[in-house]
């Protein structure tokens, strides 16, 4: 048998191999123990080195593999297939984080835009001027100003929230303040 025929036969046997793995608890346990370090290792650094997130994504990977085992077509090794599932779970995780961050920033903007006569900068005319000035800034500059000045977060926490270093965040904040000053027009008393 030539090499091409052996490769084709091996690929054809992969779905059967995976079915055998899922058919018995002992076979699945052996597969799991062999694949777990590879899946966990793949996810650990890519998820920011957070063990809790890595464990959650690893668990989701294996439960998805179990529930979608019929989708395995044998074009790859079963562990490679698991890694591709892990990659999708990681992408879903980052999309969820982005949605949560966006939602949080929208809430902050609503708070800034809210009516609270106790703070003079929230009065109607001034509030509109602040919102107008903020809306001209790039999103990261807007975020750094809102998180620091409206939420009162220290630079270190703002940096963490934005996934930047403290020095990069301080630099971003300096540019944001300058841009805000240029865009902000104080309401005039007419």
Helices (H), the chain: 3-23, 25-46, 51-67, 78-113, 124-135, 139-145, 155-162, 166-183
* Of residues 109, 148, 103, the one with CA closest to residue 132: 109
CATH 1.10.1740.10 matches 3-97: yes
What is the mean pLDDT of each successive set of 10 residues along the chain, which is 190 residues long?
Answer: 50 57 76 91 84 94 85 75 88 80 68 53 64 81 82 85 89 91 67
Q: d(Cα 45, Cα 29) in Å, to the nearest integer?
A: 25
Q: d(Cα 98, Cα 126) in Å, to the nearest integer?
A: 30
* pLDDT at residue 11, as a whole number: 44
Looking at domain 114-183, its CATH architecture is Orthogonal Bundle (1.10)
Asked if residue 77 lies in contact with residue 21, where contact means CB atoms within 8 angstroms, the answer is: no
Going from N- to C-terminal start, the domains of the chain cover 3-97, 114-183
Q: d(Cα 106, Cα 110) in Å, to the nearest integer?
A: 6
- Provide the residue count of the chain: 190
Give the count of beta carbons closer than 10 Å to the beta carbon of residue 12.
Answer: 10
Q: Is 148 helix (H, G, I), strand (E, B) or coil?
A: helix
* pLDDT at residue 19, as a whole number: 60
Q: d(Cα 121, Cα 125) in Å, to the nearest integer?
A: 9
Stated pTM of the model: 0.49
Dig out the tokens for 18 from the structure: 């995976």
């Amino acid at each position: 048998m030539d090499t091409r025929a052996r490769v084709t036969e091996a690929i054809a046997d992969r779905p059967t191999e995976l079915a055998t793995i899922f058919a018995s608890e002992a076979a699945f346990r052996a597969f799991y123990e062999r694949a777990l370090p590879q899946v966990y290792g793949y996810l650990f650094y890519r998820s920011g080195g957070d063990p809790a997130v890595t464990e959650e994504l690893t668990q989701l990977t294996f439960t998805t593999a179990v529930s979608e085992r019929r989708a395995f077509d044998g074009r790859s090794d079963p562990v490679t297939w698991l890694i591709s599932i892990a990659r999708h779970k990681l992408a879903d995780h980052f999309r969820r984080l982005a949605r949560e961050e966006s939602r949080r920033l929208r809430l902050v903007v609503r708070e800034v835009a809210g009516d609270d006569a106790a703070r003079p900068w929230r009065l109607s005319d001034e509030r509109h001027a602040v919102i107008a000035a903020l809306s001209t800034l790039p999103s990261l500059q807007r975020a750094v100003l809102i998180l620091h000045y409206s939420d009162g977060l220290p630079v270190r926490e703002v940096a963490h929230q934005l996934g930047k270093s403290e020095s990069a965040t301080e630099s971003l904040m300096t540019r944001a303040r300058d841009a805000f000053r240029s865009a902000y027009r104080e309401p005039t008393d007419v």
